[in-house]
Chains A and B, each alone.
Chain A
């Protein structure tokens, strides 16, 4: 089974990209709301809200990773598994970025904009497909791929913060719900 999956180092690099993007969004939203909560919630309560939010992030990031791993297992190795860091990163950025764009457009223009809110995310997904399909024989594409791989590698440093944080909030929430 494991032979269908990419190497663990590659998985970690892609996971770092996913987790950093999702957590960056959540933490920004958290800071935006914090001033209002300070009026009525104490520090313990604010941490509890944060813990549930980070737990949601953990679940979401694992779902995205699982999707990529499933694709890796199902597709021919030369299409995805052998280029997991680059293609997984492009796909992660494409999926999470499109969701960000979708929600951000609603935040800017409101639900009344209707289906026009979908234009941005769909364009993002098309761009992702194009990037995935670019053949590496062009120098610019090779440069792009190496830049993406470098970025994914650099982002793994955040896992030293995020993984312990996920474990702490997981234990905290589990304790609250069991106790």
Chain B
């Protein structure tokens, strides 16, 4: 059913675009969406779980991103850009709402933004003047986009451009309740064969999904993909197909509807790190990484050898993706759509390969899991600009609103990015956090809070069962590997930052209770 819907959708979309091209008017677009060349187009490309620490663009030892480096030659490059959290829901929600997780409240696994705050999103605030399109392969990010459904002109199904869907039912099957469709299908009725603890609510759908999984080569191993196709555990895909599809969509859409805001959130390089054969084994296993012992809050206990192996596979997957993204940019360049377009490249969170932990969304908030890339290329930009001051992904919303000439709301917790009219603020504080087991409807009692200020980073682990509250302090400039805890050594800095962080948490909880 999902395949038919997806195909129908894409066919309808292509047909309407083609029809519009011939008739000279788009039936899909309101009069407000007519050509308006005064405003620039905005194209946001989000690569899930892409840590800035693993990009050669930012000095990583492995040459993972030659194409991003080329792109950076005519872009603003932000070197100390941080996500609002350490997994999709928090990171994406912060980026699209300009608020920290303790305000937007989407901090649980597959959580949602506070229902009273859903109008606080980029698509709504940029206004109907823009044609607003969104696509994500990440189903948790799709829950958030579904909350903004009324503010989107186009919301593509997650499995568009995919090859093999694991479940019969996909979220876009529920058109009227798309924000809840993930919970109905993926979280309840479907059997997700990769789920370690499945309990499907529908015997029929589960049996159908299970039969399909048993009857097929689930990993889709081929000569091109020796480790299997990239997958988000709900459907498999090939990056060339997905990125080319988005390229065609953008080219077709910009011809018809300008100004245009496109949000494209790709699953890669999220695990499983299934690179194409051309990229498997391209990096020798000689990277000198510091050995970091297991942290008491680590949920896993991966050996150093395993972590080295996964780190290499992750780097290969990034290199694979970078090559595809380079091709997409060339296509867009050739077609001329970049002439009046801002292109933003970023991520929702990073990835961690240390202290026994692999991946993200754990209690650990070390730099690799929150430090994300940000590149912004303005129309006609020919030179590279580098910014080394602290920035957060809550800054994207006010910055894009400024670019679009819209008013910046007072409730936004972000600031306009350096290079877009505001001077650097060396006293700036950032507050990434993880509190995924805390109820969204109550003040936050347990989680890991972070304060990043200047060169320092303070962690506050609180409310974890079996663990006393604890702080850690690092100097990211002198100790980028975060090995030397200064909390009991640099008492003055620790005390000042601790007071500021506790006050910020307390204020956030107070504001929530008042609301």
Contact = CB atoms under 8 A, between A and B. Distances in A.
Contacts of B193: 106, 111
A27 B441 CA distance: 25
B183 A29 contact: no
Contact of A29 (B177, B199, B210, B213): B199
Contacts of B203: 22, 25, 60, 96, 99-100, 103
Given A39-B439, A41-B183, A52-B177, A111 B213 contact: yes
A134 B341 CA distance: 76
B29 interface: no
Contacts of B202: 26, 53, 56-57, 60
B110, B112, B200, B201: most-surrounded residue (chain A CB, <10 A): B201
Contacts of A99: 203-204, 206-207
Interface stretch (B184-192, B327-335, B359-367): B184-192
Interface stretch (A30-38, A81-89, A150-158): A30-38
Interface string A32-58: 110001111110010011001100110
Contact of B191 (A39, A40, A103, A115): A103
A117 interface: yes
Say which size band chain A's interface belongs to: 35 or more
A33 B180 contact: no
Contacts of B205: 56
A38 B111 CA distance: 11
B73 interface: no
Nearest to A37: B183
Contact of A107 (B110, B111, B199, B441): B199
Contact of B204 (A32, A37, A63, A177): A63
A133 interface: no
Interface of B is mostly: loop
B184 A53 contact: yes
A137 interface: no
A107 B204 CA distance: 15
B108 A40 contact: yes
Contact of A39 (B177, B214, B437): B437
A41 B214 CA distance: 33
A30 B207 contact: no
A39 B440 contact: yes
Given A106-B198, A177-B176, A40 B207 contact: no
B188 A106 contact: no
Interface string B431-469: 000000111110000000000000000000000000000
A117 B201 contact: no
B440 A53 contact: no
B167 to A, nearest CB: 13
Nearest to B175: A177
Interface string A55-82: 0110010010000000000000000000
Given A39-B440, A52-B189, A107-B199, 12 more contacts: A33-B188, A40-B110, A42-B441, A49-B187, A52-B174, A56-B204, A57-B202, A63-B204, A96-B203, A103-B191, A103-B200, A177-B177
Interface of A: 22, 25-26, 29-30, 32-33, 37-42, 45, 48-49, 52-53, 56-57, 60, 63, 96, 99-100, 102-103, 106-107, 111, 114-115, 117-118, 176-177
8 contacts: A33-B201, A37-B187, A45-B180, A49-B187, A99-B206, A103-B207, A115-B214, A117-B210
Q: What 5 pairs across the A-B complex have the smallest Cβ distances?
A: A29-B201, A177-B176, A40-B108, A40-B111, A99-B203
